[in-house]
Amino acid sequence: GYRRRYYRNSLRLLREAVQAWAGESPPIDFVVQLGDSIDGQNARRGEAESALRQVLGVLGQLSVPVHHAWGNHELYNLSRARLARSGLYSRAAAGSAGPADRECHAYHCSPAPRLRLVVLDTYDISTLGVEPGSPRYEESLRVLREKNHNDDLNSPEGLKEPHFVAFNGGFSQAQLDWFDEVLKFSDENQEKVIVTAHVPIHPSASNGVCLAWNYEAALAVVHSHQSVVCVLAGHLHDGAYCLDSHGVHHLTLEGVIETPPDSNAFGTVYVYEDKMVLKGRGRIPDRVMHF
């Protein structure tokens, strides 16, 4: 409630990004949308569906696939079941390349030879977007209340582990096991893997609060394989970056919602055999990430 947000301007910035990507040479292969494509305020106003239509309408002008991570704001507006029937369910295009749970929005695909993209669902365990009283809700609430004794479960006040708040979420064991199998395949086939998720999974690519509940478990999977080169995340509007002890780049991108009208917050990544080169726009700085 104390940071300036530019709601009406955000759609204009998205249009600018789409126009810039459409004019790229060589042409881009795909776009990654890292979550919170619509804002939680829409739920109170009954405008979730119309807001989503507007955003997807702009992204739909692209002639390439758009891979969506689900964020907390999507889940404030729409249930997981509804999201699985929406234009944000980019897992559908990947066919059966995800966990057995069809509502878990995790999947993988290979957009180029020896390159794999993995989209993770950082709200697989969450109290958001699920029916109160359902088994998924009750289990998620138990995990959250074990670590957070505040009346306001969105408050990290006084917590030993401040990332255990309701606006974050975590990974089920089933998703982690599936992720492990995908990375085994990539190791065996000498692929490079780019992981995308809404919530960061490394403390140094976070502010200590915006972090997946069981990030250590996800990091353990990443670090037990050779194939992951980069983890891209959203959620933390200020952005962050670190190169971890295993040589994996963790890049958290700045948020459009807190970007002034005269700037922007998007970028284009060029992938080479030995590095990724980010050409940032507006608030997002250029970066070279060597493998």
1: in domain: no
Domain carrying residue 71: 7-290
Q: Are the beta carbons of 277 and 268 closer than 8 angstroms?
A: no
Mean of the per-residue pLDDT values of the chain: 97
275: in domain: yes
Look at residue 172 in the predicted model and tell me its pLDDT. 97
Q: How far apart are CA 276 and CA 257, in angstroms?
A: 26
Least Cα distance to 91 among 123, 67, 75 occurs for 67
Encode pLDDT of 60-119 as tens digits: 999 999 999 999 999 999 999 999 999 999 999 988 899 999 999 999 999 999 999 999
2: in domain: no
169: in domain: yes
Encode pLDDT of 136-182 as tens digits: 999 999 999 999 999 999 999 999 999 999 999 999 999 999 999 99
187: in domain: yes
Cis peptide before 26 (omega within 30 of 0): yes
Residue 86 three-state SS? coil
23: in domain: yes
85: in domain: yes
**Which helix H or strand E contains 136, and what residues bound it?**
helix 135-147
User: Does 1 have pLDDT greater than 80?
Assistant: no
Look at residue 211 in the predicted model and tell me its pLDDT. 98
Cβ neighbour number for residue 126 with a 10 Å cutoff: 26
Give the CATH number, domain containing residue 205: 3.60.21.10
User: How many domains does the chain contain in total?
Assistant: 1
179: in domain: yes
63 exposure class (CB count in 10 Å sphere: 0-12, 13-18, 19+): exposed
Look at residue 201 in the predicted model and tell me its pLDDT. 98
